[in-house]
Chains A and B, each alone.
Chain A
């Protein structure tokens, strides 16, 4: 349904150092770096990554708003370079910006305007707007000017607009960022509903809990690269780091603590018998236990855990604990 091959986008960015009185030097920034990806129909694909990782640029390339420097991509089977009109007709996009509507028009008038542009007949459009606005609890605010909408209402309106044509593919860029929990729940319900109806979604989000709950697969982007991609279980298994809780019968010696550090980052204090170790390689657990035994210290309890998505995210984006 969505496929990319070595997709790359380089932007020329002005540097502070001036070349002359008027012109600044330009430098190349790789916003999207050689991304190859395949998303099957009916999948919710979460795209996570730090600010500036290239998530929005990737979505804009796939929605034909940005032309890539190299590589190819297909959305709903259409080539983004050669069949841009067909790609646009196949997608619904919620850009996540606050400025993509006409401020002086009401919510209803805005949806009506964009609906007509999508070629939806008047009678059908009226029904759709009504049903969709009601489904996200926005109908009572339909006659309010867009500029008077709250942030949550703006996000809901953005979502309703991209649902108007009921396309097979959706790009949702941070649909729940900065909005209240009630509105966020409504939007997540809508996403689940789309998933149940077999739609393909790319969900760009900073909310990792949301990504865990909603996405079938997750892609982690950093500095333009897709550094890791797969289901949540796959990501957890692929990430060798494991969190190990050890409770010792007595306080560990300084020497033992130093040796623990060779296995990964440790969290404890000298006065604590409970030690949390981020084992950089889960398979070394047996070696760790042998080490404790060799020190003639009994282990009262042991508990191992896989990393959370947040920890996996931090690991792959250069801010890992281990």
Chain B
């Protein structure tokens, strides 16, 4: 068994040991998809809506992609800090750190199961939307996967900064909280950024999430190619090059500070 598999195995066993929580989670997947459907039904199919025209005028498609993306945003941003928090709470952080697995591998592998579960979760939502609610998608799988991957990588840097903060604060992760709130508000999860006032739109364009979401919608709805979303890919790459080193530095600093204060095992 490899190290990543061991972490996934641990995640699966833990999840299956909480059966009620698992059933409720699956149930909420169906309920939230149905909610999107009825919400979209209320808003209706708006072919002539200037804001939705580039997405085919279908609000449900627009919304579902926004929600799916937001799931990945929050996993990318919070899974690292959540991992640290869980290990602190369980009392296993020191035991993990004493193993012959480097710190960054522990951090990455610990988040693997959360990412896999999010992929399954969002896949099911998408499948229900397509099969049950007849949502029409025209997916460019390669371009969509690249955009999603780059989004996760670029946001993982922020996630690592959060994890560094959690190492010290133990509870209360202001960075993850701020990015999640701002992302949901400004990056076009629930509405196109064109509806925002000019100054908020300007702020929205500073977020990588906004560009990722624009590109993801185009590759999932309009079958855009990699070339057609190259601008967004470049922005995400630039963001990743900035945030990943920053994340590594911040996490290392948080880790060393906890070691200096002797609070690694505190929660």
- Contacts A63-B98, A89-B100 hold; do A105 and B261 have CB atoms under 8 A apart? no
Q: Determine if A135 is an interface residue (Cβ-Cβ < 8 Å).
A: no
Q: Which of B1, B17, B102, B259 contacts A65 (CB 8 A)?
A: B259
Residues A105 and B262 in contact, CB atoms below 8 Å apart: no
Q: Determine if B260 is an interface residue (Cβ-Cβ < 8 Å).
A: yes
* C-alpha spacing A102/B99, complex, angstroms: 15
Q: Which of A99, A104, A114 contacts B91 (CB 8 A)?
A: A99
Q: How far is the CB of A82 from chain B (nearest CB, A)?
A: 14
Q: Determine if A279 is an interface residue (Cβ-Cβ < 8 Å).
A: no
The residues of A that contact B106 with a CB separation of less than 8 Å are 117
Residues B94 and A100 in contact, CB atoms below 8 Å apart: yes
Instruction: Name the interface residues of B245-267: CB closer than 8 Å to any CB of A.
Output: 256, 259-262, 264-265
Q: Determine if B101 is an interface residue (Cβ-Cβ < 8 Å).
A: yes
* C-alpha spacing A119/B6, complex, angstroms: 11
The residues of B that contact A207 with a CB separation of less than 8 Å are none
* C-alpha spacing A89/B97, complex, angstroms: 11
Q: Determine if B45 is an interface residue (Cβ-Cβ < 8 Å).
A: no
Residues B14 and A117 in contact, CB atoms below 8 Å apart: no
* C-alpha spacing A161/B98, complex, angstroms: 11
Q: How far is the CB of A52 from chain B (nearest CB, A)?
A: 13
Q: How far is the CB of B266 from chain A (nearest CB, A)?
A: 12
Q: Determine if B24 is an interface residue (Cβ-Cβ < 8 Å).
A: no
Q: How far is the CB of B69 from chain A (nearest CB, A)?
A: 31
0/1 interface trace, chain A 91-126, chain B, CB 8 Å (1 if under): 101010111111111000100111011110010000
- Contacts A109-B13, A117-B101, A122-B1 hold; do A11 and B261 have CB atoms under 8 A apart? yes
0/1 interface trace, chain A 20-64, chain B, CB 8 Å (1 if under): 000000000001000000000000000000000000010010011
Chain B interface residue number, banded = 20 to 34
Q: Which of A63, A85, A161 contacts B102 (CB 8 A)?
A: A85
The residues of A that contact B3 with a CB separation of less than 8 Å are 116-117, 119
Residues A88 and B98 in contact, CB atoms below 8 Å apart: yes
Q: Determine if B54 is an interface residue (Cβ-Cβ < 8 Å).
A: no
The residues of A that contact B1 with a CB separation of less than 8 Å are 112, 116, 122
Q: How far is the CB of B89 from chain A (nearest CB, A)?
A: 9
The residues of B that contact A225 with a CB separation of less than 8 Å are none
Q: Which of A89, A101, A165 contacts B92 (CB 8 A)?
A: A101
The residues of B that contact A242 with a CB separation of less than 8 Å are none
Q: Determine if A67 is an interface residue (Cβ-Cβ < 8 Å).
A: yes
Q: Determine if A19 is an interface residue (Cβ-Cβ < 8 Å).
A: no
* C-alpha spacing A81/B256, complex, angstroms: 11
Residues B100 and A117 in contact, CB atoms below 8 Å apart: yes
Q: How far is the CB of A101 from chain B (nearest CB, A)?
A: 7
* C-alpha spacing A103/B89, complex, angstroms: 11
Q: Determine if B23 is an interface residue (Cβ-Cβ < 8 Å).
A: no
The residues of B that contact A98 with a CB separation of less than 8 Å are 91
- Contacts A88-B100, A102-B10, A105-B10 hold; do A95 and B95 have CB atoms under 8 A apart? yes
Instruction: Name the interface residues of B73-127: CB closer than 8 Å to any CB of A.
Output: 90-92, 94-102, 106
Residues A105 and B14 in contact, CB atoms below 8 Å apart: yes
Q: Determine if A9 is an interface residue (Cβ-Cβ < 8 Å).
A: yes
- Contacts A9-B262, A67-B259 hold; do A117 and B92 have CB atoms under 8 A apart? no
Q: Determine if A12 is an interface residue (Cβ-Cβ < 8 Å).
A: yes
- Contacts A12-B261, A102-B10 hold; do A65 and B101 have CB atoms under 8 A apart? no
Q: Determine if B38 is an interface residue (Cβ-Cβ < 8 Å).
A: no
Q: Determine if A299 is an interface residue (Cβ-Cβ < 8 Å).
A: no
Q: Determine if A262 is an interface residue (Cβ-Cβ < 8 Å).
A: no
Q: Determine if A291 is an interface residue (Cβ-Cβ < 8 Å).
A: no
Q: Determine if B9 is an interface residue (Cβ-Cβ < 8 Å).
A: yes
- Contacts A67-B256, A113-B10 hold; do A57 and B98 have CB atoms under 8 A apart? no
* C-alpha spacing A99/B14, complex, angstroms: 16
Residues A99 and B96 in contact, CB atoms below 8 Å apart: no
With contacts A91-B98, A98-B91, A102-B90 known, what are 7 further pairs, Cβ within 8 A? A12-B261, A67-B259, A85-B102, A88-B99, A100-B91, A101-B95, A116-B5
Hey, which bits of chain B sit against chain A, CB under 8 A?
1-3, 5-6, 9-10, 13-14, 17-18, 90-92, 94-102, 106, 256, 259-262, 264-265
Hey, which bits of chain A sit against chain B, CB under 8 A?
9, 11-12, 31, 57, 60, 63-67, 85, 88-89, 91, 93, 95, 97-105, 109, 112-114, 116-119, 122, 145, 161, 165
Q: List 25 A-B contacts (CB under 8 A).
A: A57-B262, A63-B98, A64-B259, A65-B97, A66-B259, A67-B256, A85-B102, A88-B97, A88-B100, A95-B94, A97-B91, A99-B90, A100-B91, A100-B95, A102-B14, A102-B92, A104-B17, A104-B18, A112-B1, A117-B96, A117-B100, A118-B101, A119-B101, A145-B17, A161-B95
